[in-house]
Amino acid sequence: MYERHSKCWTIKLMCHILGVSTSGYFKYRKMMGRPNKDAILSAEMEAILNESPFNDNYGAPRMQLALLQRGLKAGIRRITRIMREHGWLHKPRRKPKGLTHATTEIQEQENLLKQDFSSPQPLKKLLTDISQIQCLDGKLYISPILDCFNGEILSLIMRDNMKKELCLDTLKAVTHRYKLDGTILHSDRGSQYTSDAFRQELLNLGMTQSLSGVDHCYDNARMESFFATLKKELLYRIPTYKMKREDVKSIIFKYVFTYYNRVRVYTANPGGYPPAIYRELSVEQLLAA
């Protein structure tokens, strides 16, 4: 009894000297050896980052959605702090300065989207464009079609040239899988898209063409955003200039159709669901209704 009383007195004296309460001391003793909430959350975040080598591009907003999909709620400030402490945050990319150019009345009339890239239904608003990447044996031209409904890449054709057949075959690849009657397809004013052959194909499919204004990069900003993501997360991280086009094509196909469409958290979709997953969930909800 005396030893127990002496020990309690010693603890009280020590707490008094350190300026802490005895209850706080015993709470600290109780929690010793237990992982705190931040440690548990950071372990889950590290698991998310390790799911794919491309996930190291996740910022705090995308990480928050990934945690929610695992049933974990956390504030954006807390997530940002933990990611910063572990060196998981990257410097924000520079945003382009606003640069506007005059456009004609005809161009305004031909731009049906007016920078509205939202769509309540799949296959009603599609975007397309061409980008390029330097490879060992020459340039590789990349031609995708993106659905504004969920951000999914519906088709992707890559060639060693940017002739109109590249764009035509990208369009045909979508029509082989989906019916696009009444669909709007938006692009820039490249000669491929304004060619008689391309416009006739759209007419045959019952599709309506929408065109960006000259030098108006924001008129197709969502498509440009996809290319920026593709290059930042994949192409700028591998030495494409030392690789043959066929090898780069294989890597791009795998990234787009196995990661971007089906795994990567997509912040524009409710719940951050990947494009293909969100489409499948939406179809299930419609069938259930």
pLDDT-derived band at 90, boundaries 50, 70, 90: confident
pLDDT-derived band at 9, boundaries 50, 70, 90: low
Q: What is the mean pLDDT of residues 264-287?
A: 91
Query: For residue 113, which of 131, 127, 100 has the smallest C-alpha distance?
Result: 127
Helices (H) and strands (E) in the chain, counts: 11, 6
What pLDDT score does 167 carry?
96
Cα-trace Rg, the chain: 27
Please determine, for residue 227, whether its predicted confidence score (pLDDT) is greater than 50: yes
Q: What is the mean pLDDT of residues 16-24?
A: 65
Q: What angle do CA 222, 125, 98 make, to 5 degrees?
A: 30
pLDDT-derived band at 260, boundaries 50, 70, 90: very high
Please determine, for residue 162, whether its predicted confidence score (pLDDT) is greater than 50: yes
Please determine, for residue 110, whether its predicted confidence score (pLDDT) is greater than 80: yes
Amino acid at 29: R
Contacts of 35 (CB under 8 A, 6+ apart): 43
Please determine, for residue 94, whether its predicted confidence score (pLDDT) is greater than 60: no
Strand, coil or helix: 186: strand
CA distance readout (Å), 122 to 7, 44, 149, 211: 71, 33, 5, 20
Cβ count within 10 A of residue 27? 11
What pLDDT score does 45 carry?
86
Q: What is the mean pLDDT of residues 8-37?
A: 64
Strand, coil or helix: 158: strand
Residue 152 phi, psi dihedral angles, 5° rounding: -75, 140
Amino acid at 60: A
What pLDDT score does 35 carry?
59
H or E, element range at 141: strand 138-147
What pLDDT score does 56 carry?
86
Highest mean pLDDT among 39-43, 87-91, 127-131: 127-131
Lowest mean pLDDT among 89-93, 115-119, 190-194: 89-93
Say how far apart CA 257 and CA 238 lie, in whole Å.
18
Say how far apart CA 143 and CA 5 lie, in whole Å.
80
Higher-pLDDT residue of 183, 27: 183
- Enter the CATH code of domain 116-288: 3.30.420.10
Packed helices 76-85 and 37-50: angle between N→C axes, nearest 10 degrees? 70
What pLDDT score does 179 carry?
87
Pure H helices in the chain: 2-18, 22-31, 37-50, 60-69, 76-85, 105-110, 164-175, 196-205, 221-233, 245-254, 275-288
Q: What is the mean pLDDT of residues 24-36?
A: 60
Return the domain boundaries, the chain: 2-31, 37-85, 116-288
pLDDT-derived band at 214, boundaries 50, 70, 90: confident
pLDDT-derived band at 100, boundaries 50, 70, 90: very low
